[in-house]
Structure 1
Amino acid sequence: MTRLLDPLRDEDPLPPSRVDIDQAVRIGRRRVRVRWSGAAVIVVVVAVLVPVLGLPGNGGSSVGPATQPELAIDYPEFDPMRRVVEVGDVRGVEPFSYTTARQWQRVNLQIGKSGFATLTVYAPGREATDAEGIMQPETGTPGQPVGGRASYWLSRGSNEVLAWQWAAGAWAFINLQSADDGSEPDRDTMRAIAQAVQVHDKAGEQVAMPFTVPLPAPYQLIGTTTQLRSAGDPFVRTGLLFATEDPADPDRQYSGVSVHVENGSKMAMHAGANQNVDGHPAMVADQEVIIFDAADDFAVDVEGTGEADLLPIARGVQLVPAPSDRSTWVTQPVS
């Protein structure tokens, strides 16, 4: 069992982590190439495509308390093709992936050398849930205010969660997991991250993709995933998520299809290639199809449940003429 939201690959090494990254809409598939909880997730952290995310340098300064202006919320959900969450500079904290959905948005963060955190921001009026069920922040231990609003500490399994309202009736949660050295989650770091979070208006930052794909029946677009890199890093893994319903719970398993494109050395190795598709080496399995060397050293990677016919979906992906040039990416990738 792996996840529909799968922005991470083992491209460039980071220290190993025990964190379960991007616990979101999940699907079954035959193979697991990304190593999750209990193993190493190898990924480089920094931003690409997301100017709304403020990324710190190695010597970033800590963020002190701040009060967000009162927001006039007039929309019931997020646009899955826009990113609305900004994480300002916090010493030792860097975003490394971003997932959009209509009812929530999620940013995964690296903490120090081997710690990780998940920031989940819910749309106004949405009930927050996790793998343990409904989250009731007011039943937790009161903490210091965040953005002028009350915050609460919750125990969820073995992890501690900081919850606060980023606007009236709209909750945000930070789940910080222990580093591999056994150190406990740092409440000061969690508070600093919370103080650095801003949720922008419904316009947000437009998501762009280096490809187009026909809408795979019977699904609808439910979100996007992007592995974040620095502006000068050419590595790309980004994609679209399709399912029959919008995921209300980031940690619940859903059936669906993910369509990603990726470049870099891992795809250049043609690992698992077992046939030729339209003149390109490809790996074709029941729950995953990868077409290598589709264009400009990019591969097309489609994953889904057994009910989906993945090969026609993969063959329908059309990369833009120069996918390495982000200025050519499109904001309406579903045709």
Structure 2
Amino acid sequence: MDHFEDGARLLAPLRDVDPDLRSGVDVTRAVKTGRRRRRSRLVVAAVGVVAVLGLSALVAPGLVSGLRENPPATGLADPTLFDMRSFPLQVGTAGGYKPLMYSVMRVKASVSLVRTDGRPGTGEVSMYPRTRFQPDPAAAGFPAAQPPIEGRRVFWMPGEATPTLVMEYGTDRWVQVTIEDDQPDLRNRVYHVAESVAFTSADVQLPFTISPTEAGLPSNLLEIQNTVPLSPPETSVVKLSFEPLGRTPQVTITATPQAPSITTNEVINGHAAAVSPGEIILRDVEGYSFKLHVDTPLEDFGADRLKALAATIDLVPGGWTNAPVR
């Protein structure tokens, strides 16, 4: 199995529903759906990336570049949108779990967790705008508030199959912490993970830019993912959607600092490439390999469009960027 096959397991989107800004999707329901199907994917990820996991007990500014205080999002013109140039929260190692991957979308920011001992057991810390996720602590049957964390209100979500804690942040955000595992005292572990959450931002770090506009393909930036450690990440992912084309095709671009042993069959913008239906791998772009994968039916996107998009990939000279789409 080559590193891209491993990466596909590691970097498969850690949700089953991508909230669309215009869809009115029920994020609370989507969260529940994602949790039911997340466990098997993250177990594989826990095995595949042990070598790149390395945060200390609490995230410190020295571990992440661009770390800064992230005040509550009050008074914003549109509080439903996250700034996709940074991750708005950090999670430490606590309760026997540690961060695996950071992800930011416009309506959700999340950190996936794995056990520190490498055994099966996964979790997620997610932040939502209040306009998209609104637990109602005043509702009948909602458990009483737990001891506050750093002065923030904390509640257990009722009716959940696994312990799920929600924590209020400012007036515009809710944070949700959940763990799926068979370890004892899961509630205590979830609470300790919540205690490790730091509301500081860290810049997204991507070694490349891409230009759908140059390829004649207007797009929306859906999601950015970085593996731990964040500075620099071992693997980076950018996910784009192409609204005007058919049934909204999506393309995932994965960058990894190694060249796989693959057979190439074309040359794209001077780089040897393995081209197959719905997928292109640029084998070696100055030490990086890039995989472009169409996440929706290929007929909605087309091989020529994918090649045109791949031809616009450029490495950032001598550094990183938090704005991958140019």
Is the contact made by 1:71 and 1:167 (CA closer than 8 Å) also made in structure 2? yes
Residue of structure 2 in register with 1:290 after alignment: 281
Give the structure 1 partner of residue 219 of structure 2: 219
Percent identity between the two aligned chains:
21
2:127 corresponds, among 114, 118, 121, to 121
Partner of 1:83: 87
* Alignment partner of 2:143 out of 127, 141, 144: 141
Q: Which has the higher strand share?
A: 1
Q: CA separation in 2, counterparts of 1:9 and 1:79?
A: 30
* 1:38–1:321 distance in 2 versus 1, CA, 3 Å: closer
Bigger relative contact order, structure 1 or 2, given CA contacts below 8 A and separation 6+? 1
Aligned-pair CA distance for 1:36: 4.4
Aligned match of 1:40? 44
The answer to whether residue 325 in structure 2 is matched with residue 334 in structure 1 is yes
Secondary structure at 1:209's aligned position in 2? Answer: coil
| Aligned AA (2:254) | H
Q: Which residue of 1 aligns with 2:260?
A: 268
Tell whether the 8 Å contact from 1:223 to 1:242 is kept in structure 2 after alignment.
yes
Q: Distance in 2 between matches of 1:150 and 1:37?
A: 32
Query: Closer, same or farther in 2 for the Cα pair 1:170/1:100, shift >3 Å?
Result: same
Aligned to 2:30: none
Q: Does 1:109 align with 2:99?
A: no
Range 138-147 or range 76-85, more displaced: 138-147
SS at match of 1:149: coil
Letter in 2 for 1:205: A
Counterpart among 97, 100, 121 of residue 101 in structure 2? 97
Query: Runs of 5+ in structure 2 lacking a partner?
Result: 19-38, 64-68
Cα distance in structure 2, aligned partners of 1:262 and 1:314: 15
The count of aligned residue pairs is 270
- Per-residue CA deviation, residues 64-93 of structure 1 (Å, 9 max, x unaligned), is xxxx99846222121011111022452533
Cα deviation 1:143-190 (Å, max 9, x = unaligned): 332332332223666433111212224211112011xxx435611111
Q: 1:209 aligns with which of 206, 209, 230?
A: 206
1:225 and 1:238 in contact (8 A); partners too: yes
Structure 1 residue corresponding to 2:293, chosen from 303, 308, 319: 303
Please tell me whether the aligned partners of residues 46 and 96 of structure 1 are also in contact (alpha carbons under 8 angstroms). yes
Match of 1:251 in 2: none
Choose from 164, 169, 178 the match for 2:167. Answer: 164
| Post-superposition CA distance 1:218-276 (Å, at most 9, x none) | 32113311111376xx872102221257xxxxxxxx84222221124xx5222xx4512
293 and 43 in structure 1: CA distance in 2 versus 1, 3 angstrom threshold: same
Report the residue type matching 2:195 in the other structure.
Answer: Q
Partner-residue secondary structure (3-state), 1:141: coil
State the 1:94 CA deviation. 1.8
Q: What letter matches 2:149 in structure 1?
A: V
Would the alpha carbon gap of residues 317 and 138 (structure 1) be closer, same or farther in structure 2, given more than 3 Å must change? farther
- Paired letter, 2:209: T
Q: Provide closer, same or farther for how the CA distance between residues 38 and 116 of structure 1 changes in structure 2, counting only shifts above 3 A.
A: closer
Displacement after TM superposition at 1:120 (Å): 0.4
**Does the CA contact (< 8 Å) of 1:227 and 1:238 recur in 2?**
yes
CA-atom RMSD, angstroms?
3.8
Q: Distance in 1 between matches of 2:135 and 2:242?
A: 25
Aligned AA (1:190) = V
1:191 CA drift (Å): 0.6
Query: Displacement of 1:299 after TM fit?
Result: 0.7
Q: How far apart, in 2, do the equivalents of 1:164 and 1:109 lie?
A: 18
Partner of 2:153: 150
TM normalised by structure 2 equals 0.69
Shift of 1:25: 5.1
Partner residue, 1:131 = none
- Tell me the amino acid that sits aligned with residue 318 of structure 1: D
Name the aligned partner's letter for residue 162 of structure 2.
Answer: N
Does the C-alpha gap of structure 1 residues 47 and 212 become closer, same or farther in structure 2, counting only changes over 3 Å? farther
C-alpha distance in 1 between matches for 2:172 and 2:233: 38
Unpaired runs of 5+ residues, structure 1, are 1-7, 15-19, 27-34, 58-67, 129-133, 246-253, 323-327
One-letter amino acid of the counterpart of residue 144, structure 1: P
Aligned to 2:251, which of 257, 264, 286?
A: 257
Structure 1 window deviating more from structure 2 (277-286 vs 92-101): it is 277-286
